[in-house]
Amino acid sequence: CKAHKVAILPGDGIGPEIMDQALRVLTTAGKAEGAEFEFTRALVGGAAIDATGNPLPKETLDICKASDSVLLAAIGGYKWDTLPAEQRPERGLLGLRAGLNAFANLRPAIVPPQLADSSPLKREIVEGVDILIVRELVGGIYFGQPRGFGTNDKGERIGFNTDVYSEPEVERIARVAFEAAQKRQKRLCSVEKSNVLEVSQLWKEVVIRVAKDYPDVELSHMYIDNAAMQLLRNPKFFDVVVTGNIFGDILSDEASMLAGSLGMLPSASISGDGPGIFEPVHGSAPDIAGQDIANPLAMVLSAAMMCRYDLKLPKVADRLETAVNSALDQGWRTKDLWKEGTNLVKCSEMGDILVKLVA
Ligand code: NAD
Ligand code: IPM
Ligand code: MN
C-alpha cells in the first residue's frame, strides 16, 4: 500500500512539543491499521523567519502543495511580536491557508462527558454540548483591501482594515455549513452583525438564498454579540454555526471553555480539493513553551480529523479518538485540566499513554 504523504509544520512555542507526541501516536495508530505515513518536515512562522527571513518560504508551500495533507501545530511568539505585520509569523499561517485555498475551517467544540466538570460553567449547561463552528478562513477582514496605516484629514495617524465578502465566497462556505448540518442535528445558525455592517447584510442575504437548497435544515440568524452571550447561557442551542473569519476566530476560543481548555479543540481547514490543513485551534502558548506541560490532545485530535477528512483513514481516526477518550476516562490530565482526583501528567507522558492505547 502507498504511504500517505503528510507535510509536518511544527512551528513555534509548544508547537514542536505537541507535534512530537501527535506523530508518535499517529504512527502507532497507523501501524495498527496497516496505514503508513511519509512525513516531510517544513518551516513556517517564527522558525521559518529565523532560518530564512520569510514566515512562509516557497519551499514550505511547495512541500504542502505536493502532500496529501498538512499537519500544523502552532506559530508565533514574543520574539517576533515587534516585527511589522507583513513579516510576522502569523502572516506565514495566513499565507499557507490562502495558498492552499483552505476556505472552510471546521472547528468542533465537543464536551466529552469526562470533562463536564472541567468547565468554568456549570455541568448542566455544558454536558452534551456538540457544536461545529464553520469559520470562513481566507476572506473577510483578515484579507480585505485596502489595509494599512495612513493619516486622516486632521493629520492624525490611522490604522485600517476592510471587512469584505463576495457573494461566491459566502455561498461556498454556506454550502459547507448546510451540508455539515444535514449530517448532524440539521440546525444551522448564521452569525453576523447585519444590524450594522453591509458585509454582514450581504452575508445574511446569501445564506438565506442558499438555504432554499437545504429545506431539511432549520436556519436561524444571530448577531455576533448575542451569539457570544448565548454560547455561555445555552450552548446546547447550537448545532452548526457558520460565520466569517474574525467572528469564527473569537467564538471558537470562547467555545473551548465549554470543555475546560483551549488545549482540547482541533480543527480542519479544507478547500474540497487539494490538501487540507489540520491544526489545533490554540496558538503557540509561549507562556508555557519548553516546559513539557502543554496539552497535546487538540493536536492528536487534529491528526484524527486529518485521517477522517483528507486521508480517508476512518479506522485510524477512530483509534486516535478512542485513545483520547480512554486517557480521559483513566483520569490522566495535563496541567490545564488538572484538578483534585485526577492524575497530572506531562505532555510527553500523555503521549506515552496514548501510544499504548492506540497500539
Ligand atoms: P494561545 O492559544 O497560544 O494561548 C492562550 C492561553 O491558552 C495561554 O495561556 C496558553 O498557555 C493556553 N494554551 C494554549 N494552548 C494550550 C495547550 N495545548 N495546552 C495548555 N495550555 C494551552 O494564544 P495567545 O497567547 O493569544 O497567542 C500566542 C501566540 O500564538 C501568538 O503569537 C499568536 O499569534 C499565536 N497563535 C497562533 C495560532 C496558530 O498557529 N494557529 C493560533 C492562535 C494564536
Ligand atoms: C487561529 C489563530 C490565527 C487566526 C492567527 C494566529 C493568525 O488565532 O488559528 O485561530 O486568527 O486565524
Ligand atoms: Mn484564534
Q: Does ligand 1 come within 6 angstroms of the Cβ of 295?
A: yes
pLDDT digits (tens, 9 = 90+) for 288-309: 999 999 999 999 999 999 999 9
pLDDT digits (tens, 9 = 90+) for 172-214: 999 999 999 999 999 999 999 999 999 999 999 999 999 999 9
Distance (Å) from CA 212 to ligand 2 centroid: 32
Name the average pLDDT for the chain.
97
Distance (Å) from CA 249 to ligand 3 centroid: 5
Query: Could you state, in order of their start, the residue ranges of all structural domains in the chain?
Result: 1-107+263-359, 130-257
Ligand nearest to the CA of 136: 2
Atom of ligand 1 nearest to the CA of 93: 40
pLDDT digits (tens, 9 = 90+) for 225-263: 999 999 999 999 999 999 999 999 999 999 999 999 999
Residue 78 is a catalytic residue: no
Ligand nearest to the CA of 280: 1
CATH of 1-107+263-359, one of 1.10.3210.10, 3.90.79.10, 3.40.718.10, 3.40.50.280: 3.40.718.10
Domain 130-257 adopts which CATH fold? Isopropylmalate Dehydrogenase (3.40.718)
Interface confidence (ipTM) of the complex:
0.98
- SS3 sequence of the chain: CCCEEEEEEEECCCHHHHHHHHHHHHHHHHHHCCCCEEEEECCCCHHHHHHHCCCCCHHHHHHHHCCCEEEEEECCCHHHCCCCHHHCHHHHHHHHHHHCCCCEEEEEEECCHHHCCCCCCCHHHHCCCEEEEEEECCCHHHCCCCCEEEECCCCCEEEECCCCCCHHHHHHHHHHHHHHHHCCCCEEEEEECCCCCHHHHHHHHHHHHHHCCCCCCEEEEEEHHHHHHHHHHCHHHCCEEEECHHHHHHHHHHHHCCCCCHHHCCCEEECCCCCEEECCCCCCCCCCCCCCCCCCHHHHHHHHHHHHHCCCCHHHHHHHHHHHHHHHHCCEECHHHCCCCCEECCHHHHHHHHHHHHC
Distance (Å) from CA 276 to ligand 1 centroid: 21
Pick the catalytic residue from 12, 193, 310, 336.
193
Residue 142 is a catalytic residue: yes
Domains 1-107+263-359 and 130-257 share a fold: yes
Ligand nearest to the CA of 142: 2
pLDDT digits (tens, 9 = 90+) for 129-149: 999 999 999 999 999 999 999
- Mutation pick for ligand 2 pocket among 88, 90, 279 (CB with most ligand atoms within 8 Å): 90
